[in-house]
Structures are given as structure tokens and as C-alpha cells.
Structure 1
Amino acid sequence: MDDDLRPWDVAAPLVRAAQRGDALAMDDLLKLITPYVTRLCASIAPADTADAVQESLLAVFRGLRGLRDPVAVYGWVRAVTVREAVRVARRTGAETPAEPEQIARLRDLLPAAGTDLTTEVRDLLARLPVQHRTVLVLRELEGLDERTMAELLDVPEGTVKSRLSRARSSFRKAWTR
């Protein structure tokens, strides 16, 4: 792959071909986005990552024809994946809420060599309620602002801000233990 190509530049032609019914292009597209989908699902639905990934990829497969702008595929995939991962996490109910209160941002806790979360961070995230885990992942790992998160999660911006504040507090307190 050319170093100057962005992920959506690679994905857009596959999207167009898949929308025209090219099964091989659909397969290639799903293979291309699977690591991204898996990373999001592992952070939001850690107890049921495989189910969340499967549900997300299935939703992408089913809804791809409705995507109007193939270059926007990663934003659309993120929205679909977050929705499905939250749904799976809520369905399973495998949450043990952490107690509230100070630490560095999640991005600062990533290992220097890559983008995978450390085992400790993954464990702490898994213990947060799904709403808190979701806003932390979207803000700290995906870099989304409150307005964008509110639109993505279909909640008021104030709700996102309060969830983010509580999530950070819970994460900090659990981290310092």
C-alpha cells in the first residue's frame, strides 16, 4: 500500500464495488475494517468482543448499500460499531461498576510501540459501566469531541459531558488503587 494513501482512500473503491454487488470487494472491505472494528469492540464490549465484532460486521454488510459517500466509510463504520458494541454490552450485562475519583488520559497509558491497550487499562475499562466505557473510548482513543459523541450516541451533549466526567473519575480512582 502506498504510504500516502489514507485508510478511507483504500476503502472507498472497495465500498463502491461492494455496493455494485462485487462479493470479493465486500470480502476485502470487511477484512480491511475488521481490525478497527475489533479494537472498538474490545474496548466497549470486552466481555463479548467476538459477538460485538460479528454483530458490527453484519450491520456493516447489511447497511453498506445505504452509505452515500464511500470516503466517509470509516466514520460510518465507527457509528455502526459503537451502536452494536453498546447493544451487545448492555445485552450481556457483564458489568462491574468501578467506584469514583485522578490519572492521566487513556491515550497516555498506551504502550509506546503501538495502539493496543495495556492489560491493566483493558481490565479497568471492562469494569466501568458501558456508558462510561463508551465515552472514554470515543474521547480518549478515537479523539471525538462532545458534540460528535452526542450525535453518535443519540444523547444530549450535556449527558456526554457528565458521563465523561464520571468515567474519568471512576477510571482514575480504580487506577490509583
Structure 2
Amino acid sequence: MCVQGADESRAEPWETAAVLVPAAQNGDALAMDELLALVTPYVTRLCRPIAPHDAADAVQESLLAVFKGLRGLRDPRAFYAWVRTVTVREAVRVARRTGAEEPADPVDLARLGGLRAGTDGELSADVRDALARLPVRHRAVLVLRELEGLDEAAVAEHLGVARGTVKSRLHRARTSFRKAWSR
């Protein structure tokens, strides 16, 4: 199943995914390949700030979980939300497994300079470096709230924690992150 015709090339990724999901669920290997290729940049964008030391492993684990779990997805239009949930869970798991957390050091963070957005939608090296120094639980909350734009209730649902936990983690994460830019 190829979805790259003239009209489909202008379709939003979630619209393209909604067409590919049923075919992939029914065993169409080409549809599954296109679906994974379509979602890989999104998965990578989520994994890099959450598991910066092992982003490649987190991406691979996330895509494998998407591949294995796709048959259980009921609504093809919910594909991207489902992928976000799977990806964050896997990225947090990989980051915790490797134990590569470094506590945020405000003195080191202060030397990073200002926030600069990348032209390709990627985080600047300064932001990635600052995020890498935060504990994984803080990175996950910041990525979901600030980069993905989810509200606190949705972040709590994605991470499987209470809303109050999200609020406190978000406060601590923002405080650590801001210290770097205020000096």
C-alpha cells in the first residue's frame, strides 16, 4: 500500500498514518514499513531529550514496541497519541536502565547561554545539554508539557503518576532549568 500519490503527499502525517494503520494491522508489510518510517522522526524527537545518552536505543525500543503493539490499537486516528505514550514509556525505561542520570548543576548550566531554536525542529545543543543533566523523571515531564504541549492531566496519564506528582516534578524541573538562564 503506497500513500505517496499527488494528493496524499500533502496530507498531514496523522492522516497518512490513519490510512496505513488498518493495512499494517492486517499484515501488510509495506504498510508497516511506511508507518514506521513515517513515525520515526517523531519518536526520535521524543527520545532524544528523555534518554539523551541512549537515544538510539530508546528509539529502537520504542519502534519495536509500536511494531509489536499495533494490532491492539483500536482507533487508527489515535495512532500518534498512542505512539507518544509508548515512546515516552520506553524512553524513560531505557534512561532508567542505563543509569546515565546526572544531577543538574546550576553552575554548569549557567554557562550554556540562551535558548536557541533549531531550524529543523530539533532542540538546540544547549537545550539538549541542559535537559541531559536533569533526572529522567524531570526530563519526561518537561518534554511532555513544554515540547508536546500536553496539560498536566495528560502528562500524569502518560507517565502513570498522580497529577500532583506531575505538578511538583514540573516545578522542580523548571526551577533547575531556569537557574541556568538567569545568571
TM-score by length of 1: 0.91
Larger Rg: 2
- Residue 8 of structure 1 and its aligned partner are, at CA, apart by 1.1
Residue 142 in structure 1 maps to residue 115 in structure 2: no
Choose from 102, 105, 109 the match for 2:115: 109
Shift in alpha-carbon separation, 1:30–1:112, aligned structure 2, 3 A: closer
- Residue 13 of structure 1 and its aligned partner are, at CA, apart by 1.2
Partner of 2:85: 79
Amino acid of the residue matched to residue 57 of structure 2? D
- Residue 112 of structure 1 and its aligned partner are, at CA, apart by 6.3
Residue 25 in structure 1 maps to residue 31 in structure 2: yes
- Can you give the 5+ residue segments of structure 1 that lack an aligned partner in the other structure? 101-107
TM-score by length of 2: 0.88
Runs of 4+ with >6 A deviation: none
- Residue 23 of structure 1 and its aligned partner are, at CA, apart by 0.5
Percent identity, please.
Answer: 72
CA contact (8 A) 1:124 1:175 kept: no
- Residue 7 of structure 1 and its aligned partner are, at CA, apart by 1.6
Greater RCO (Cα-Cα under 8 Å, separation 6 or more)? 1
RMSD: 1.7
Q: Secondary structure at the match of 2:130?
A: helix
Partner of 2:74: 68
In structure 1, what is the Cα distance between the partners aligned to 2:59 and 2:137?
Answer: 18
- Can you give the 5+ residue segments of structure 2 that lack an aligned partner in the other structure? 1-7, 107-113
Choose from 79, 93, 103 the match for 1:97: 103
- Residue 72 of structure 1 and its aligned partner are, at CA, apart by 0.6
- Residue 174 of structure 1 and its aligned partner are, at CA, apart by 2.9
Amino acid of the residue matched to residue 59 of structure 1? A
